[in-house]
Amino acid sequence: MHLLVKGFILSGISGLGWMGLFQLSNYLLTHYSKVKNWKISHHHIMNICEALVSGIQAIVSSVCGIIVVASCRHDVMWATNLLAPWYAWIGGSYFVYDTVAMYQVHLASLSKVPVSFMKRISSYLKRRTLLVIHHVVVATVLYPVMVYRSGVGDFFVGCFYCVEFSGPFTNLRIILSRTGLKETRWYLANGLAMIISFTLCRILIFPYMYMAYGAQYNMRVLDVIRTIPLHCNVGSLIVFLPQVHWLRLMILGAIKMLRGKTISEAEEKID
């Protein structure tokens, strides 16, 4: 069977798996809330379920990334690991799923859902603009590039998978908030872990990749930037800039909490 066909099959199965996990957790949590007479809105239940699936994907992606980086660090350009291209199909399907899941969560947050489909889409895009753009670009550009690289640079693909290492903490923040634990030390400790992991794996990972390439070929970072293809630098910059924006929002939220102020639900969503 052609590799492309296998990839699409894997992507389709994993996409159904992500959505199935979201729907299953939604069903179980809704049932649990009714049995326990838990005072929680349908919107918050869906929000928690989206965070659960997102956290699971982040853990899987990080594990794959660590395995790939560890096995390819001796030769950052030519060493290979099968997880590098194949997980791209699974990761890409997740971002397609999550775009749909975010839409469903958004509709659940509305007091009155617009009748017109276009108005619902417009409302969703206005609310989650940057995150939707991020998801679409990652699913349609970044992950396909990870598949079609002629077997070059698995180490760097592994590094990109590792950016999800902060995911469990960003999603745990949502879960703690929606379950009424925002005022606890758990929320504060998780917020600190989130900022540290985000800084390491979504900001510092970029200079690390350039330094790793430079170390192998005995080049300075500036020489690496001038030497590698332009599209590599542009692609890294496109992925990097939103991370800086989101880290800024996290730090502002942390400062607000330390001043004794409460972070709203809108501020918890880093977009």
Task: Give the Cβ contact number of residue 222 at 10 Å.
Answer: 10
Q: For residues 175-197, b (16+ Cβ closer than 10 Å) or e, as one string?
A: bbbbeeebeeeebeebbebbbeb
Give the model confidence (pLDDT) of 120-166 as tens digits: 999 999 999 989 998 999 899 888 888 888 789 999 999 999 999 99
Contact 99, 132 (CB under 8 A): yes
Portion of the chain with pLDDT greater than 70, in percent: 97
As a whole number, mean pLDDT of residues 98-125 equals 94
H-type alpha helices, 36-116? 42-72, 83-109
What is the per-residue pLDDT for 210?
97
What is the CA 214 to chain-centroid distance, rounded? 28
Tell me what pLDDT residue 180 has: 87
pLDDT for 269 equals: 61
Number of independent structural domains in the chain: 1
Question: What is the overall mean pLDDT for the chain?
Answer: 92
What Cα–Cα distance (Å) separates residue 79 from each residue in 67, 85, 196, 211? 13, 13, 30, 17
pLDDT value, residue 265: 65
Query: What is the C-alpha separation between 109 and 103, in angstroms, rounded?
Result: 10
Residue 150 DSSP symbol: T
To 5 degrees, how large is the angle CA 252–CA 49–CA 140? 75
What does the pLDDT look like over 53-89, one tens digit per residue?
999 999 999 999 999 999 999 999 999 999 999 999 9
pLDDT category of residue 251 using cuts at 50, 70 and 90:
very high
pTM over 0.85: yes
Domain that holds residue 214: 3-268
Instruction: Kindly tell me if the per-residue pLDDT of 176 is higher than 70.
Output: yes
**Which residue has better confidence, 40 or 268?**
40
